[in-house]
Chains A and B, each alone.
Chain A
Amino acid sequence: MARNTVYCHVDLDAFYASVEQLDKPELRGKPVIVGGSEHGRGVVSACSYEARTYGVHSAMPAAEARRRAPHAVFLPVRMGRYQEVSARIMAVLSEYTPTLQQISVDEAFLDLTGTERLSGHPVDIGRRIKRRIHEAFGLTASVGIGATRFVAKMASDFDKPDGLHYVEAGGEEDFVLGLDLTDLWGLGRKTRSRLEALGITRVSHLHAQRIETLRGHFGEAAGTFLYRIARGIDPGIFSGARKSHSISSETTFERDISDPDIIEAILLDLCEQVMYRRYREGGVSRTVQLKLRKHDFSTRTVRRSVPNEIGSTDEFYREARRLLVERWDGTPLRLLGCGLENVQSPESLAKQPELFDQTHRSAERRRRLEEAVFKLREGGIDIRKAGGFREEGYKDST
Chain B
Amino acid sequence: MMKFTCERDVLIKEISVAQEIISSRNVLSILSNVMLEAAENTLRIRATDLKVGFETRIPVEVAQEGSSTVFCDKLLGILRSLPEGEVEFETSENDVFSIRPVFRKIDFQLKSISSEKFPEIQQAQSDSFFEFSQAAIIEMIRQTAFAVSDDETRYFMNGVYMENVDGHLVMVATDGRRLSYIRSEEDSELPDFPGVIVPPKVLGLVRKLASGEGTVRISITPKAVFFHFDNQKLSSSLIEGQFPNYQRVIPESQQYTATVDRNELSEALRRVSLLVEKSRRIYMKIADGSIGISSEQSEIGVAHEELSCAYDGPETLMALNYVYLSEPLKVIENDQVEIQFSEATKAITLYSVPRASYFHIIMPMQLD
Contact = CB atoms under 8 A, between A and B. Distances in A.
11 contacts: A307-B280, A307-B321, A330-B27, A350-B280, A350-B281, A350-B296, A350-B365, A352-B365, A353-B365, A358-B244, A359-B154
Interface stretch (B36-44, B171-179, B189-197, B328-336): B171-179
B178 A353 contact: no
B236 to A, nearest CB: 21
Contact of A355 (B27, B151, B279, B361): B361
A50 B131 CA distance: 81
Interface in B163-204: 174, 176-179
Interface in B127-178: 151-154, 174, 176-178
B244 A305 contact: no
Given A350-B365, A352-B366, A355-B174, 13 more contacts: A286-B278, A287-B278, A314-B153, A318-B151, A350-B280, A350-B281, A351-B365, A351-B366, A353-B364, A353-B365, A355-B347, A355-B363, A360-B176
Interface residues of A, number: 22
A322 interface: yes
A354 interface: yes
Interface string A302-316: 000101000000110
A73 interface: no
Nearest to A349: B279
B366 A305 contact: no
B357 interface: no
A354 B176 contact: yes
A297 interface: no
B247 to A, nearest CB: 11
Contacts of A286: 278-279
Contacts of A353: 177, 345, 363-366
Interface in B349-368: 361, 363-366
B321 A322 contact: no
B176 A325 contact: no
A322 B150 CA distance: 10
Interface in A82-140: none
B177 A318 contact: no
Interface string B253-286: 0000000000000000000000000111100000
B319 interface: yes
B1 interface: no
Contact of B153 (A305, A307, A315): A315
Interface string A352-369: 111110111000000000
Interface string A289-330: 000000000000000010100000011001000100100001
A354 B363 contact: yes
A322 B279 CA distance: 20
B307 interface: no
Contacts of A352: 177, 321, 363, 365-366
B215 to A, nearest CB: 34
Interface of A: 286-287, 305, 307, 314-315, 318, 322, 325, 330, 342, 349-356, 358-360
Given A307-B321, A330-B27, A350-B281, A355 B177 contact: yes
Contacts of A355: 174, 176-179, 249, 347, 361, 363
A350 B282 CA distance: 10
A90 B160 CA distance: 50
B150 to A, nearest CB: 9
Interface string B82-94: 0000000000000
Nearest to B157: A359
B197 to A, nearest CB: 15
B25 interface: yes
Contacts of B281: 350
Contacts of A342: 278
A207 to B, nearest CB: 36
Most buried by A among B27, B279, B280, B281: B279
B56 to A, nearest CB: 29
A309 to B, nearest CB: 11
A330 B25 CA distance: 10
A342 B363 CA distance: 25
A332 to B, nearest CB: 14
Given A350-B279, A352-B321, A353-B345, A322 B152 contact: yes
A342 B298 CA distance: 15
Most buried by A among B179, B296, B345, B363: B363
A359 B176 contact: yes
Contacts of A314: 153
A233 B319 CA distance: 45
Given A318-B152, A330-B27, A356 B345 contact: no
B25 A318 contact: no
Nearest to B365: A352
Given A350-B281, A350-B365, A356 B176 contact: yes
Most buried by B among A287, A342, A355, A359: A355
A354 B177 contact: yes
Contacts of B366: 350-353
A325 B27 CA distance: 12
Nearest to A356: B244
- The 9 tightest CB contacts between A and B, nearest first, are A350-B279, A351-B366, A350-B281, A355-B249, A305-B278, A359-B176, A355-B363, A356-B244, A352-B365
Most buried by B among A314, A342, A354: A354
A170 B151 CA distance: 57
Nearest to A360: B176
A8 B319 CA distance: 44
Given A318-B152, A351-B366, A353-B365, A359 B278 contact: no
B365 A356 contact: no
A328 to B, nearest CB: 10
A69 B186 CA distance: 82
Contacts of B245: 356
Given A355-B176, A355-B347, A350 B319 contact: yes
